């Protein structure tokens, strides 16, 4: 298969490879300098260029990374990982269309490459092609040997960004992650937020209760439960949850209670209780902020 001239993929290389490698790698750890010395001794060793290029990518030096991958390609045009490595670099640099050209070519050769599907999904998401990205995320998750919670969160976020009609699918994606990885708190918390967005308050509350059953400290999740009940327009139950959170906070040892996040949580809980008391007395304002559930896992 012929190599793609990167001038044909949005001019990415012309723009990204303008700076010399030496200036780009200033401040990078000693490994980069070690690899440079090895390359000077073995200038045709493709693996060394790939290692240094991936190191540069990991440090955000996109131009230097692509330059090294091009040097490797000049020596071994059919190296099986070069299209993937260049696509990943371009995707992380924000050159999404260029990344798609290269990752699609890679996937023609390696259709079951999970990390490559993940790069493709991220490039589509970066280009705001959310609906197209969602099934690609699923392909990636099926093929990744060790998917991470963030991968399921990315899939859910892509579906959520595609519109309200796809929020239920986002919850399903999160549940698949929970089934595969276990009751990861970040996945549960996102699922709770989306259940509430769908108006499925009882499901959201059951999830909160399941999480609390595994927690020694419950103050944050009690407050989160209050927020869901608040949003569901169940003020008496919401007040009870907030009050339980307040009591839990006050029972903490000083070294825990004086932590900034705990103090912020306590302030929010007291504010919510004051608002509910005011509403009970006839006040009207009612604002719900689900971010409270993110204060502490």
List the one residue out of 200, 204, 119, 190 whose CA is nearest residue 159. 190
1 in any annotated domain: yes
Q: How many domains does one find in the chain?
A: 3
d(CA 33, CA 15): 25
Q: In this predicted structure, what is the pLDDT of residue 99?
A: 98
Condensed to tens digits (0 to 9), the pLDDT of residues 168-224 reads 999 999 999 999 999 999 999 999 999 999 999 999 999 999 999 999 999 999 999
* Contact yes or no for 294/189 (Cβ under 8 A): yes
Tokens 């900034």, residue located: 260
| Range(s) of the domain holding residue 43 | 1-110
Confidence of residue 30 (pLDDT cuts 50, 70, 90): confident
User: For the chain, what is the mean pLDDT?
Assistant: 88
Q: Which of 138, 168, 197 finishes a domain?
A: 197
Condensed to tens digits (0 to 9), the pLDDT of residues 116-169 reads 999 999 999 999 999 999 999 999 999 999 999 999 999 999 999 999 999 999
* Contact yes or no for 252/294 (Cβ under 8 A): no
d(CA 250, CA 254): 9
Query: Both 179 and 136 in a single domain?
Result: yes
What is the CA angle 257-263-266, rounded to 5? 100
205 in any annotated domain: no
Q: In this predicted structure, what is the pLDDT of residue 32?
A: 84
Confidence of residue 281 (pLDDT cuts 50, 70, 90): confident
d(CA 80, CA 14): 23
3-state secondary structure of 178: helix
Q: In this predicted structure, which of 3-7, 10-14, 100-104, 273-277 has the lowest mean pLDDT?
A: 10-14
List the one residue out of 130, 123, 58 whose CA is nearest residue 90. 123
pTM for the whole structure = 0.82
Query: Both 6 and 19 in a single domain?
Result: yes
Q: Which of 51, 80, 110 finishes a domain?
A: 110
99 in any annotated domain: yes
4 in any annotated domain: yes
58 in any annotated domain: yes
Q: In this predicted structure, what is the pLDDT of residue 17?
A: 40
252 in any annotated domain: yes
Buried b (16+ CB within 10 A) or exposed e, 282-291: eeeeeebebe
The percent helix, strand, coil of the chain (3-state, each to 5) is 75, 0, 25
Query: Both 71 and 41 in a single domain?
Result: yes
d(CA 152, CA 157): 9
188 in any annotated domain: yes
Buried b (16+ CB within 10 A) or exposed e, 230-243: bbbebbeebbebbb
Condensed to tens digits (0 to 9), the pLDDT of residues 222-266 reads 999 999 999 999 999 999 999 999 999 999 999 999 999 999 999
Asked if pLDDT for residue 290 goes beyond 90, the answer is no
């Amino acid at each position: 298969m012929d190599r793609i001239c990167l001038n044909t993929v949005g001019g990415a290389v012309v723009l990204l490879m303008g700076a010399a490698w030496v200036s780009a790698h200033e401040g990078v750890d000693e490994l980069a300098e070690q690899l440079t010395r090895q390359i000077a001794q073995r200038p045709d060793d493709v693996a060394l260029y790939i290692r240094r290029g991936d190191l540069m990518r990991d440090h955000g030096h996109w131009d230097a990374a692509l330059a090294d991958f091009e040097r490797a390609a000049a020596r071994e045009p059919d190296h099986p990982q070069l299209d993937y490595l260049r696509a990943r670099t371009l995707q992380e640099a924000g050159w999404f269309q260029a990344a798609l050209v290269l990752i699609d070519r890679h996937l023609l050769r390696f259709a079951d490459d999970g990390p490559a599907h993940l790069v493709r999904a991220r490039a589509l998401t970066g280009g705001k092609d959310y609906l197209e990205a969602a099934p690609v995320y699923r392909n990636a998750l099926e093929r990744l040997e060790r998917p991470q919670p963030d991968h399921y969160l990315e899939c859910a976020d892509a579906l959520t960004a595609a519109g309200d009609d796809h929020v239920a699918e986002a919850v399903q994606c999160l549940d698949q992650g929970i089934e595969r990885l276990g009751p990861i708190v970040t996945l549960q918390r996102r699922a709770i937020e989306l259940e509430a967005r769908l108006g499925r308050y009882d499901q959201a509350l059951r999830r909160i209760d399941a999480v609390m059953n595994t927690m020694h400290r419950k103050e944050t999740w009690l407050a989160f439960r209050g927020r869901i009940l608040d949003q569901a327009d169940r003020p008496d139950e919401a007040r009870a949850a907030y009050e339980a959170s307040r009591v839990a906070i006050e029972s903490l040892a000083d070294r825990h209670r004086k932590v900034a996040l705990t103090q912020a949580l306590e302030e929010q809980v007291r504010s919510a209780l004051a608002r509910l008391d005011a509403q009970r007395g006839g006040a009207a304002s009612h604002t719900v902020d689900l971010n409270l559930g993110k204060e502490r896992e």
